[in-house]
Amino acid sequence: MYIIFRTSQLNKACNIYREAVKRHGKNIADKLFLRLDQIKAADNLAVLYTVPGARCHKLEGDRKEQFAVTLVEPYRLLFELAGDRSLFIVDGKIKNELVAGIEIVEIVNYHKR
């Protein structure tokens, strides 16, 4: 799949290892780069759901347009679907096998309030 980034700072943190370590620590940076490689290697969102340990899932509530994969507990890599939604929404439902790109939104522990 292809990946785009919501902000230039997020792009920098996801593409420059030293920057990722500085912002999130070594453990999260290591897992982040692994997850990004797995996303790039996946043909579509359906494949990403099968990646062991990633625990890809659609979010609910105020994040209902977003998806997440696990980094280091409790941190998640959040993303939204990229591209023309009419290409992968059929009968009001997302067809995961048609989703070929994502937009990285943030790295966050959304469990704490």
Q: What pTM value is reported for the model?
A: 0.93
Check whether 92 has a pLDDT greater than 80: yes
Tokens 């420059």 correspond to 16
Size of the chain, expressed as the number of residues it contains? 113
pLDDT at 113: 59
- What is the arithmetic mean of pLDDT over 62-75? 94
Residue boundaries of the structural domains of the chain: 2-108
pLDDT band at residue 111 using 50, 70 and 90 as cut-offs: confident
What is the average pLDDT value for the chain, to the nearest integer?
A: 94
Mean pLDDT of 50-70: 94
Who contacts 56 (Cβ-Cβ below 8 Å, separation ≥6)?
A: 45, 48, 49, 67, 68, 69
| pLDDT reported for residue 110 | 79
Report the CATH architecture of 2-108: 2-Layer Sandwich (3.30)
Give the separation between CA 95 and CA 83, rounded to whole angstroms.
13
